[in-house]
Structure 1
Amino acid sequence: MTARERELELEVARLRTMVDVLTRRIEQATDWSGDGYTLFERALSLQDEVERRTRELTTKHAELEEAITSLRKSEDLLDRTGQVAGVGGWELELEPLALRWTAQTCRIHEVPLDYQPDVEQAIEFYAPEARPVIEAAVKTAMEDGTPWDLQLPLVTATGRRIWVRATGLPEWRGGRVVRLTGAFQDITQQKAAEQAILAGTRRLENIIAAERAATWEWEITTGACRFNERWAEMVGYTLEELEPIDIETWTRLAHPDDLVISGKSLDAHFSGAEPVYEAEVRMRHKDGHWIWVHDRGTVLEWTDDGRPKLMAGTHHDITDRREAHDRLCEANLQLMAAEARALELAARAEAASVAKSEFLANMSHEIRTPINGVLGMTSLLLDTNLDPEQRRHTETIAASGESLLSVINDILDVSKIEAGKLDIEAIDFDLADTIEELAASLAFRAHQKGLELVARIADDVPVALRGDPGRLKQIVTNLVGNAVKFTHAGEIALHVDVAERSTDLALLQFTVRDTGIGIPAEKLHAVFDKFTQADGSTTRRYGGTGLGLAIARQLAELMGGRIGVRSEPGHGSEFWFTLRVQVRPQAEASPRPRTPLREVPVLVVDDNRASAEGLAAILRAWGARPVLAGSAEEALAILDRHCRSAAAIRIALVDLRMPGMDGFAFAAAVREAPHLGEVRLVSMHPVSRSGLDAQSQAAGFAADLTKPPRRAELAGAIDRASAPVGAATAAPVAVTAPAPEPPVSIPAGRRLRVLVAEDNPVNQRVAVGILRKLGIDPVVVDNGAQALDALGREPFDLVFMDVQMPELDGFAATRELRRQELPGLNRAVPVIAMTAHAMQGDRERCLQAGMSDYVSKPVSPRAIAAVVEHWCPSAVAAGA
């Protein structure tokens, strides 16, 4: 019985006693009162009051009983849930000191379910070496409220040694800790799996390192060594010439300066600080020169007292790689110097006047031209045969270059906005296509961190718009990129809603919500300022220029909108912005299934509610009737119910990655149920998971989708799932805007002829290298005048034209080309502008000059390939 129940019963008993006393007094009224009638009236009144209070207390008692019953049911449900999940709970009241375990915690400790220990008894269950750790954690939490999350060994009541994860959180009241609560989980199997993986990884590394390499063994206690022939050959000797072979043989050949580095690495390995010994050392060749060797090994045997006994490893000749590394380091230093110069320009631009900002905006060509050379040549270098170390260094250069380019782009965008040179386009675009394209490109980064990206457009949002999709993508990419950077678990949601709407205008609100670290309240007011970050310390974890959000704010304002943020540390952030756009008539049909879906039930199985709702919105727009299930178990129950009704479910979209029963187990359960034989399954999985298409097909899925799916892909998957088994279905046709000019048709048997007009020698080599990778051997000229001469001498199928060149620039050369009517001159040849200006008005300027298309420097192999494929598809199909 609870304290409250006891209070109620005492109150009822007290009132009843009062009634009895009054009754007796009434009966004896003539003995002690001269006015018995008055006393009788008072007694009756008090009796009525007592009865009324008794009824109230009885009602409250019943309500309390009902609440207690509900609470016990909730506790039972929580206990069953903890048992299923393998997670127990505990609670420690500090005044008075009282510890309570849940039933699952008792199960983990292998004690009776009603066992309730004190703090000392609970700590005694931990292994001796773990007790000081947990005692310190509990003491610290009680003193200053510091939570803990520990993995520790524990000995159960039956003597079984296990590993547990123990967590604890304080509860504050009146400025002090009054209670500790936490969770308890058996992680023994997880620990064993980690150890097995670690052991297997070490064995695999040794096998790989020993392949085609110089090998050595060292008996540490005696100093004796064994080398193979390749080891001796690497330094120009035979094994016979090196005998007697011991550790002195190695130290005699090694460079004295490198022995110190090698010794430190050995000490770290022997002490257990490093899993392997690894060092790069110079060794003197027999003919006198020095070679670089990558020395790697591990201890295979230990003495009884824990000292290293036998060690084995490999030598790899890395002389060529080290020389290449030195060259790459020099290039990297140049990149870092360029980045430092760019950042210095940014700092000056912030403090300078509009005139300085205008000057910086016009520096785009001079800055981007050398970056184009660095990134282009790095891309070509990555396509060559490099050893792993060379590839890592080259990829570092590429990543540094891309980082530098991102910094420069941010700086140039800020300067262009301040100088009034950043134009906002007004072109027709499809919002749904734009959001789907963005989601597909950003989902990979999210899935790499184990996050799920969900994109949803509200049903009432118009998608046929006129505005600037490029700047819209820039804002969304910045916000989603920040969300990915600052979120370590959970999901990122991109929602589009209508804030205001008229016939031909709409104010759209874009919201990016994450489950990340959040932003402190005192930092919120400054997140959209230039060179300001929530993490501004010298130990910043996340990097960045601090310009992205400032640019996003200015772009939103330039497009008639606003931007804002709501955030709380530990609870994620919600960035939103509005854009004012023109609404066009819906002239083009959006992709939809060929299969009629009106009132057709479609099951969506996904534990992520936001993802499921996004799919449901698309299905409803197609006339279908989506049915949502948050787990595979719930989905099986839904299928069982529907199979007995007239509206049986025939199509199910199934997320493969779900807790408990995953998508593959669900598919197996459906296939094993005879009454569900007509249900066709479509699998959905993150883009970062590879090899799942074949696996899905083997599991019986009729189609396969990556998350978040595009409408065209979803429509095609539904068509494939709806088709009879073995029948072929046509993929849905995605509507695209018509090209301004028709592509070039290349006669069969003739190779593609491409002219490159570029004055910078480095950029010439980049363009030639990229085109040769595509099987094209281009003709290169240095300026626009030479380009016109070349076009007059022989026919070309495609021209890449730099816009800024001496003598005759690309704009003037293209205008002259379109005007000329010389014999043999193909005036209609597609001319692709290559520019390093990256100004928003450059595209219009190129098209006005008669150019056919536009690529911005630094040009990438993917961009060049896309241009060639678009303008010369027949040549691509024929292998150029």
Structure 2
Amino acid sequence: MSALERGPFLGFWEVDLVKQPVFSCPEVVALLGYNASEYADGWTFLKLVVDPTELFTLKKSIIQASKTLLAKPFKHNLTLKHKDGSHIYLAVIGRVRTSQTGRIGIDGTFEDITAYKSEKESSRLANQQLASFIHQLPAAIAIIDEQQNYIAASNVWKDHFNLERTDIAGISHYTLFPLTPKIWKQYHRRAMEGENLSMEEDSFLDLYGNMEWMQWEIKPWYQISGTIGGIILSGSKISERHAFIDTIMKAMMTADESTRVKSDFLSVMSHEIRTPLNAILGFINLLLQDPRPDQIEKMSILKFSAKNLLAIINNILDYNKLEVGKIVLDNIDFSLKELLVSIQSSMQPEAESGNIELSLFIDPLIPDYIHADPVRLGQILNNLISNALRFTHAGSVSIRLALNDTDDKQIKVAFEIQDTGIGIAPDQQKAVFEMFTQADASTTRKYGGSGLGLSISQELAGIMGGKIALTSTPGQGSVFSFVLDLDKCLAANPGQSKPETFQPNLNSLRVLIVEDQQINTMVLKNFLGQWNCVCSIAENGKIATEMVGSNDYDLVLMDLQMPEMDGYQAARTIRQFSGDKYCRLPIIALTASAVPSIKGQILDAGMNGVLGKPFEPKELYDLISELTRN
């Protein structure tokens, strides 16, 4: 008997099967509101039993026990009428006994279970109210007991799982769902052991064998005693949402594939365009080393045009990087003044050719060294200044830097590029920052340009924490400005940078050029020859590995895209040769590709560095010097 079933003990009772009296204790009589004299003789107080069936069952148990002499106790509940008309509930427990004289009798105890019966009735009513409440819930919820039988379920639950809107209380969950997978039965068992389970997305078969998707939770519910009485199931069908997400994912995959195809196309095109540009700029640089006086102007214009074409290609690639979120800032310590002076110097020939005054003013309160990305900052300024020069017929372009604020860690610098050019109408000012857009269709025909520079500059400024503003009056000029919070230099004393001297002497360095394009080979041989290098040529990676295996070289310049064996495979093969010299041999990748991830692939293949085509001769010289310590 559980603690919940055991009520207050009242007293003993006894039946002598010879005399057959019933000895009721005064406590029972008092409990019923009577005195002992009113119901003291034998079976008389049993007349107060309300339900004849209960009395019949009790007598039957007494008779059966006396006949079989079973030692196993029996128990019955009796409902008796109190003197005031209310009901009292007793638990009657009896057991056969035999005396030493051989007399047979039955004795037992009375327990008052009125409180328990009232609690049980209250619980029953509460369960009815709970079931009624759950039926109307706007969610799919079901409560089942420890035998997996339903206590209550909401109408939404029944609708979700195609159950008739009838009372399913008392029906086994597994009867309603005979195809319940083993894993679900394990979930139910784990919840019955006290575990809370949930799943954001799961599949199941409905009553008709159709695949559905749902989000669900399974939790135990507890009785007053603290024991687990069963589990609560809740869930919602998300098949429509799942189908929608599936559609979105497919669309995203299609978009990703489209982006990949576009990225691959741009990569291939940039490689194909950069390869001849490398030759053009290479030979221009060679010719400018010792030109005739009448060639200087023509060579300078030719170089400017080639670099302008390269800038357009770079802008297109940057647009692609920005579109897929692959622009990453590379913050280092550098001289802000040197960056601006360098940009001004590179733009000076164009300004002079147009009779335009190009001036630079830097607030003396701005620290010389800062910590930022000089390449991206330079790209923004190059685009803005180049645009200003392009759209200014006469007059001036001024570059101004002012210190707006400062603290221990940062400075706030205002950048301003002002020109006296053609200006931009108010209704066209927003459009100039959009991709592939210029203020007017005639602008492209008259002034050229891809319509990418300002858009990319705005995106880069945003990544750096600023925003480019524009004020302009048609016919009077424009002002482009932006403000950046820049970190102060991390080094305590960065010092002044020393001007670099270009001393083209590589001291008879033995170099293997691995290149399948003859014109690129000619450019490299010319520069390396001027720097006192001894050059050998390999037309592809396979020939290169054979030559490295049978000769001693101080350096390998490796193209990446070649027939027979590409540069990656060739570098890996060389690194696998036995001998320490093949592990230490510097290999520099020369590539016209501009895919952001290519540097990692190059290093993974065992190469020591990479230089993009086209390149400035000094860039190649410095990289060779660094790797060979010349």
Q: TM-score, normalised by structure 2?
A: 0.50
Which residue matches 1:449? 354
The one of 347, 361, 377 aligned to 1:472: 377
More strand by share: 2
Check 1:466–1:361 CA distance in 2 against 1; reply closer, same or farther (3 A cut). Answer: farther
Q: Which runs of 5+ in 1 are unaligned?
A: 1-351, 592-711, 713-732, 737-742, 875-880
Q: Deviations over 1:604-646 (max 9, x none)?
A: xxxxxxxxxxxxxxxxxxxxxxxxxxxxxxxxxxxxxxxxxxx
- Aligned partner of residue 615 in structure 2, secondary structure: coil
In the alignment, structure 1 residue 836 sits paired with structure 2 residue 592: yes
Alignment partner of 1:779 is 2:536: yes
Query: Could you tell me which residue of structure 1 aligns to residue 550 of structure 2?
Result: 793
Q: 2:611 matched to 1:859?
A: no
- 2:434/2:455 contact within 8 Å kept: yes
Paired position in structure 2 for 1:552: 457
Partners of 1:410 and 1:547 within 8 A in 2: yes
Q: What amino acid maps onto 1:456 in structure 2?
A: F
Which is richer in helix?
1
Shift of 1:446: 2.3
Output the aligned Cα RMSD. Answer: 4.2
1:532 aligned residue (415, 433, 437) = 437
Give the SS at the match of 1:425: coil
Higher relative contact order (CA 8 A, sep 6+): 2
Is structure 2 residue 270 aligned with structure 1 residue 513?
no
Question: Distance in 1 between the 2:619 and 2:473 partners?
Answer: 41
Return the alpha-carbon distance in structure 2 between the equivalents of residues 553 and 489 of structure 1: 26
| Partner Cα distance (1:822, 1:480) in 2 | 53
For 1:797 and 1:771, the matched residues in 2 are separated by 13
**What does residue 571 of structure 1 align with?**
476
Give, as a single letter, the amino acid of the residue that structure 1 aligns with 2:338.
D
Partner secondary structure for residue 447 of structure 2: coil
**Residues 142-541 of structure 1 correspond to what in structure 2 (within 5 A)?**
354-364=259-269, 366-372=271-277, 374-375=279-280, 379=284, 382=287, 401-498=306-403, 503-537=408-442, 540-541=445-446
- In 1, distance between residues paired with 2:266 and 2:273? 12
Distance 1:840 1:511, change over 3 A: farther
In 2, the alpha carbon distance for the partners of 1:562 and 1:771 equals 44
Maintained 8 Å contact 1:451/1:491: yes
Other structure's SS at 1:407 match: helix
**Residue 441 to residue 550, structure 1, CA distance change in 2 (3 Å):** same
Which whole-Å deviations, capped at 9, do the CAs of 1:555-586 have from their partners, x for residues lacking one?
22233321121112233211123445443334
Conservation of the 8 A alpha-carbon contact between 2:588 and 2:610: yes
Partner in structure 2 of residue 317 of structure 1 = none
Q: Paired residue for 2:510?
A: 753
- Paired residue secondary structure (1:801): strand
More divergent stretch after superposition (809-818 vs 551-560): 809-818
Following the alignment from structure 1 to structure 2, what is the Cα–Cα distance between the partners of residues 385 and 427? 36
How big is each residue's C-alpha offset from its partner over 1:186-208, in whole Å with a ceiling of 9 and x where there is no partner?
xxxxxxxxxxxxxxxxxxxxxxx
2:345 alignment partner, SS class: helix
What is the deviation of 1:779? 1.1
Cα separation, partners in 2 of 1:462 and 1:475, compared to 1, 3 Å: same
Cα contact 2:403–2:414 (8 A) shared by 1: yes
CA distance in 1 between partners of 2:445 and 2:324 (Å): 31
- TM-aligned CA distance change 1:394 to 1:383, over 3 Å: closer
- Secondary structure, counterpart of 2:460 in structure 1: helix
In 2, Cα distance between equivalents of 1:583 and 1:385: 43
Counterpart CA distance in 2 for 1:546 and 1:431 is: 28
2:613 aligned partner, one-letter code = K
CA shift for structure 1 position 528: 0.9
1:565–1:839: structure 2 CA closer, same or farther, 3 Å change rule? farther
Equivalent AA in structure 2 for residue 534 of structure 1:
A
Are the aligned partners of 1:428 and 1:466 in contact in 2 as well (CA < 8 Å)? Answer: yes
1:854 is paired with a residue whose SS is strand
Alignment of structure 1 residues 579-658 onto 2, 5 Å: 579-591=484-496
1:337-364 deviations in Å (ceiling 9; x for gaps): xxxxxxxxxxxxxxx9645543334325
For 2:385, the aligned partner's letter is V
CA–CA distance in structure 1, aligned partners of residues 299 and 342 of structure 2: 29
| Larger Rg, first or second structure (1 or 2) | 2
Q: Secondary structure at the match of 1:537?
A: helix
What's the CA shift for 1:476? 0.6
SS of 2:433's equivalent? coil
Distance 1:573 1:773, change over 3 A: same
C-alpha displacement of 1:860: 4.5
Asked whether the 8 Å contact 2:416–2:481 carries over to 1, the reply is yes
Amino acid in structure 2 at the alignment position of 1:791: V
Spell out the pairing of 1:688-703 with structure 2 (5 A cutoff): none
- 1:831 maps to a residue whose letter is I
In structure 1, distance between residues paired with 2:296 and 2:500: 40
* Equivalent pair of 2:271/2:594 in contact (CA under 8 Å): no
SS at match of 1:456: strand
Q: Per-residue deviation at 1:478?
A: 0.9
The residue type equivalent to 1:413 in the other structure is: D
Structure 2 unaligned residues grouped into runs of 5+: 1-256
Aligned-partner SS, 2:276: helix
- Asked whether the equivalents of residues 540 and 564 of structure 2 are also in contact (C-alpha less than 8 Å), the reply is yes
Amino acid at match of 2:610: Y
Q: What amino acid sits opposite 1:465 in the alignment?
A: I
CA deviation after TM superposition for structure 1 residue 501, in Å: 5.0
- Aligned residue runs from structure 1 range 63-212, under 5 A: none
Give the AA of the match of 1:771: L
Could you report, residue by residue, the CA deviation over 1:739-795 in whole angstroms, capped at 9, with x for unpaired residues? xxxx9997xxx6221111223344333323443454544212234454344333333
Change (3 A) 1:567 1:508: same
- Provide the secondary structure at the position in 2 that maps to 1:763: helix
Tell me what 2:523 maps to: 766
Alpha-carbon deviations, 1:482-528, whole Å to 9, x = none? 12222344432222344565544555432212233322222212111
Matched residue type, 1:801: M
For the structure 1 residues 474 and 527, does the alpha-carbon distance in structure 2 shift closer, same or farther, using more than 3 Å as the test? same
Deviations 1:836-859 (A, max 9, x none): 123455456655665444321123
Contact 1:423 1:841 (C-alpha < 8 Å) held by counterparts: no
Alpha-carbon separation, structure 2, partners of 1:521 and 1:754: 58
| 1:442 to partner: Cα distance | 2.3
Displacement of 1:804 in angstroms is: 3.5
One-letter identity of the residue aligned with 1:787 = A
1:206-234 CA-partner distances (Å, limit 9, x unpaired): xxxxxxxxxxxxxxxxxxxxxxxxxxxxx
Q: Which amino acid aligns with 2:591?
A: T
Give the total of aligned pairs.
Answer: 374
Shift of 1:377: 7.0
The verdict on how the C-alpha distance between 1:826 and 1:478 changes in structure 2, with shifts beyond 3 A counting, is same
* Cα distance change on mapping 1:486 and 1:782 into 2, 3 Å: same
For the 8 Å contact 2:586–2:628, the answer to whether it is kept is no
User: C-alpha distance in 2, partners of 1:838/1:791?
Assistant: 28
